[in-house]
Structure 1
């Protein structure tokens, strides 16, 4: 193999490895609401670059990539094999997102459970003759932890402004969950209702939330079993590869030339399979009832 051919093979190896692992990363960390293809692509790009993430999460992502780069340099110094260094650098960011699968759904379930309990407390306040808007403001004192920040902002807006519907819509936007949209929509319908209909609706909302939380937790437990198996497979393969590199110098030397291309193809294919498995084990996102394309106040 000539030098130019070797360089071409190494470049192709790097591209294949990066493409496969970025595909997996995109699948594992996907977010945003469903919509037209352009909207989904924009949301995926914002998620990939970190533009849609809070500042704290962006800092964590930067630290993860920095740690990956340092690990890649160490592997380069130990093996002097480019593709191993590239894969090692991508391993830490990929591993972080692999371990984070399911956290978003768990947080969503926790928020829905909190919303249900909050509605039950609102129903008890409404039973004393308190109107819905006043009950919401009073409920801040016993806000469930999972929605305390969002509920606090809702109460602030209800106290300052004369448009409770806009405040409830913003509350739904902050939680960004189709189930919460349903709750917010029903609360909007009952803004002027201080009678028995309000109490009945709040009790029904709380009961519905409890049922949905139980169902989603059961479904998520089944998904987590598949995720645990996937993580075990990845861990076993990584341990086997590390042992082979550490115990057999000839194993690493076999990939010092064109063999790196095959290693990159294998890594890309393996990452693509993991991405597909991750998508199969993530809940489908439903369309929101209250959209975010309206003009915000």
Structure 2
């Protein structure tokens, strides 16, 4: 292929393909950094955009596309531009620390501490609303903003059950839903045994935290294996490109590009599977003020 078209033509073709691919990827990912306003809208496209990873910021996408274009220009392989861009988008989250699990564990511990604070405050003969207001400013840092917003909603005159439901949506954790459900029942039915119930819930949350930490310790070995596999694969491919380029001359042909695309797809599928087996699915939430998918507005003129 190089003999037919020449190295300059192939380089130009690679750059063009990389630029076109990058523009298309930017168009797809544009909604990823603006999706807060679009998730609530109807349509399959909006829901798909809302599922894109949160770390795909504009800067990350631009850097990834630039790296893909450079890789395509240096190798004269259009497929290399695509694979490099995809790798730059996905590998940082795959190789980096599991910040999501650490953040969730921290919030669970904060939830247990705040529940115990509510229990202790209620034992001093304070009402539930007063207990929430008293503990909002001294809640653990992981829940500080959510508890302060809860207190602000109560002070503004919002009913306590509605404010608690908004708090559960802000925390977005199944265990928080259990605690909030108990608080809502106490606010609506004036139960007299809320203190002991909160103590039991706090103990249950701490048990869940301990179990989560044991699970995370087991998942750490899986993530370590994934990192080693990915680093060895990427390092070997990069070393061949830099130090033994003649060995890769068969990929200069159209058939070679097809084989490279197939091999890259297989590696991507294997990396995705390794990531999936190390991921822990969260249980379903009990409370949800905002539905997972926005419901369409009722049409007053149509049939009921």
Per the normalisation by structure 2, the TM-score is: 0.76
CA shift, 1:253, in A, is 2.2
1:271 lines up with 2:275 in the alignment? no
- Say which SS state the counterpart of residue 86 (structure 1) adopts: helix
The corresponding residue for 1:47 is 51
Name which of structure 1's ranges 79-88 and 157-166 shifts more when overlaid on structure 2: 79-88
Aligned counterpart in structure 2 of residue 291 of structure 1, from 284, 288, 292: 288
Q: What are the equivalent positions in structure 2 for 1:102-117 lying under 5 Å apart?
A: 102-117=98-113
Alignment of 1:23-172 (within 5 A): 43-48=47-52, 61-100=57-96, 102-172=98-168
Distance 1:209 1:41, change over 3 A: farther
Deviations 1:94-133 (A, max 9, x none): 1122135732232122111101000111111112111111
Aligned match for 1:241, one of 237, 240, 243: 237
Asked if 1:259 is matched to 2:256, the reply is yes
Match of 1:217 among 209, 213, 218: 213
Instruction: Please list every run of 5 or more consecutive structure 2 residues that lacks an aligned counterpart in the other structure.
Output: 23-41, 295-304
Q: Which has the higher contact order (CA 8 A, sep 6+)?
A: 1
Residues 266-288 of structure 1 deviation map (CA, whole Å, 9 limit, x = unaligned): 11111112212222221123221
Measured in 2, the distance between the counterparts of 1:148 and 1:40 equals: 35
The C-alpha deviation readout for 1:155-174, integer Å capped at 9, x for no partner, is 10111124110111111111
CA contact (8 A) 1:79 1:252 kept: no
Decide whether aligned partners of structure 1 residues 288 and 71 sit closer, same or farther in structure 2, where only a CA change above 3 A counts: same
| Unaligned segments of structure 1, at least 5 residues | 19-37
In the superposition, relative to structure 1, how do residues 136 and 193 fare at CA in structure 2: closer, same or farther (>3 Å)? farther
CA distance in 2, matches of 1:214, 1:41: 39
* Largest Rg, 1 or 2: 2
Tell me the CA shift for residue 44 of structure 1: 4.7
Match of 1:183, SS state, is helix
The whole-number CA distance in structure 1 between the counterparts of 2:290 and 2:158 is 22
More deviation, 145-154/195-204 = 195-204
Deviations 1:13-68 (A, max 9, x none): 99xx99xxxxxxxxxxxxxxxxxxx99996553122x6xx5xxx5xx621111111
Does the CA-based 8 Å contact 2:115-2:202 persist in structure 1? yes
TM-score (norm 1): 0.78
Match of 1:26 in 2: none
Provide the rounded CA distance (Å) in 2 between the counterparts of 1:150 and 1:264: 47
